[in-house]
Structure 1
Amino acid sequence: MAEEIEAALDAVGPRLRALRKQRGFTQAELSAATGISESTLSRLESGSRRPNLELLLPLARSYGVPLDDLVGAPRTGDPRIHLKPIHRHGMTFVPLTRRAGGLQAFKMLIPARAEPGEPTPQTHGGYEWLYVLDGRLRLVVGDRDLVLAAGEAAEFDTALPHFLGTADGRAVELLVLFGPQGERAHVRARSARSE
């Protein structure tokens, strides 16, 4: 039992680092949001400081996740995913996966805008695959400026400057799979020969 507890505590640091990076926070931003010093956050993420409730509760609140997600507690009972939207950069992201780190799935909602405005490309580590459910998406990746309609998909390295927005001022809905650098979505289809 003590070994299980040690293993769970050792896994908290990498889980916290992965969640912070996935959400796009710096340690300074997280420190300002939680009141936990940057040095303490750094020690927590590296595993040189043991987590406690005084540290984990504000982190869970800032990330909008249950405390169980931070400590890797096993799920019991209800298999449903309880969707808690995240609002960032004027868009809504609805997480469809529960684990921190690794490949993440989101439903993304880009609201209607009277003036779509000029794109402001961003970069971050990782790889993204997206599928447009409804609307017309303006996707800028590097020097390419594309419009994707419902039913179209795209994938790209997020280290390239990129922008997602409405192409025609109307709302856009899409599914997004995001993975750490080097982790890509794999789509498998049965070939005609194998039938």
Structure 2
Amino acid sequence: MTDAPATPAASDLEHVVRDVGERVRALRQRNEFTLNDLSERTGLSLSMLSAVERGRTTPSLGTLHALAAALGVHITALFAQSGGEDTPITPLVDQIVDVTEGGMVRRTAVYRADYDLEVYVDEWAPGTAHARRPSQHPGHEFGVVLEGDLEVQLGDDIFLAGAGDVAQFSARRPHRIVNAGAGVARAVWINLRRL
């Protein structure tokens, strides 16, 4: 006896489950949490977390809520789209907005796990940063400052980037992006090969 082909609904669900898992892993890495850290913060087992990240299980609403709370995002951030070929446009209303631990407002403009690419539109109020402490992760970062001034802290070095300037660096270097100015700062930020 052979298995029946997957119905369109089952195929769609598999795609959503896989995308949620990729997003959970990306957010965990962005927060610099190990699976153990996330397990302690959520009360979920390591095997459950691993299965979620690999898209091997359909997480319950309670599990998704616990993951979102531990990762510091709204539950809708776990459903950020990986993109598709059916339309070239991602409407503004479909882009996920969350606030980082450092107080920066981050809008996910593009999240393409298949290209290992993330594009954000970030906004820093005075005194906010992308993280509370320097972060490190795989990949490379590029930022185009649209408005205001940002301090790009790389290890012990601090660089000032103003409107029109571009920051680019290996994300393996400890880094922290801070608005030390008196006004709002905005930038388009790209993470490449982070996932």
TM-score by length of 2: 0.67
Corresponding residue number in structure 2 for 1:126: 139
Specify whether residues 171 and 81 from structure 1 end up closer, same or farther in structure 2 by C-alpha distance, changes over 3 A only: closer
Asked if structure 2 preserves the Cα contact closer than 8 Å seen for 1:31 and 1:37, the reply is yes
Corresponding residue number in structure 1 for 2:117: 103
Unaligned runs of 5+ in 2: none
Specify whether residues 60 and 43 from structure 1 end up closer, same or farther in structure 2 by C-alpha distance, changes over 3 A only: closer
One-letter amino acid matched to 2:50: S
Q: What is the deviation of 1:56?
A: 6.6
Choose which of 128, 143, 154 in structure 2 pairs with 1:141: 154
Q: Give, in whole Å, the separation in 1 of the partners of 2:178 and 2:77.
A: 30
Q: What is the deviation of 1:20?
A: 2.6
Asked if structure 2 preserves the Cα contact closer than 8 Å seen for 1:34 and 1:58, the reply is no
Specify whether residues 59 and 103 from structure 1 end up closer, same or farther in structure 2 by C-alpha distance, changes over 3 A only: farther
Q: Which moved more, 1:34-43 or 1:151-160?
A: 34-43
**Rg bigger for which structure?**
1
Q: How many percent identity over aligned positions? A: 22
Choose which of 77, 84, 104 in structure 1 pairs with 2:96: 84
Choose which of 48, 58, 75 in structure 1 pairs with 2:65: 58
One-letter amino acid matched to 1:22: A
Corresponding residue number in structure 1 for 2:45: 37
Choose which of 157, 164, 167 in structure 2 pairs with 1:151: 164
One-letter amino acid matched to 1:43: A
Specify whether residues 123 and 69 from structure 1 end up closer, same or farther in structure 2 by C-alpha distance, changes over 3 A only: closer
Q: What is the deviation of 1:21?
A: 3.6
Choose which of 154, 166, 169 in structure 1 pairs with 2:179: 166
- SS of the residue corresponding to residue 2 of structure 1 reads coil
One-letter amino acid matched to 2:58: P
Q: What is the deviation of 1:159?
A: 0.6
TM-score by length of 1: 0.67
